Amino acid sequence: MLARSGLTASTTVLDVGGTDHFWAHSAVQPELTILNIAPFDYDGRKVVGDGCRLPFVTDAFDFVISNSVIEHVPDHQAFAREIARVGKRYYVQTPNKWFPIEPHLMTPLIHLLPRSWQYRCIRFSLWSLVAKPTVAEQAEHLDTTHLITPRGMMQLFPGAEMERERFLGLTKSMAVWGGGPPPSG
Sorted by where each starts, the structural domains of the chain and their CATH numbers stand as: 2-98+146-178 (3.40.50.150), 105-144 (no CATH)
What single DSSP character describes residue 164?
E
| Dihedral angle computed from the Cα positions of residues 84, 74, 15 and 177, in that order, rounded to the nearest 10 degrees | -40
Environment class of 20 (CB within 10 Å of its CB; exposed 0-12, middle 13-18, buried 19+): middle
36 in Cβ contact with 48 (< 8 Å): yes
What single DSSP character describes residue 184?
P
When pLDDT is cut at 50, 70 and 90, the band that residue 3 belongs to is low
The mean per-residue pLDDT over the stretch 103-125 comes to: 92
182: pLDDT strictly greater than 70 = no
**What is the pLDDT, as a whole number, of residue 42?**
85
140 in Cβ contact with 159 (< 8 Å): no
185: pLDDT strictly greater than 60 = no
134: three-class secondary structure by DSSP: coil
Cβ-based neighbour number of residue 181 at 10 Å: 9
Tell me the whole-structure pTM to 2 decimals. Answer: 0.90
Environment class of 5 (CB within 10 Å of its CB; exposed 0-12, middle 13-18, buried 19+): buried
**What is the pLDDT, as a whole number, of residue 1?**
60
**What is the pLDDT, as a whole number, of residue 109?**
94
**What is the pLDDT, as a whole number, of residue 180?**
63
**What is the pLDDT, as a whole number, of residue 158?**
94
Quote the CA–CA distance of 22 and 136 in Å, as a whole number. Answer: 29
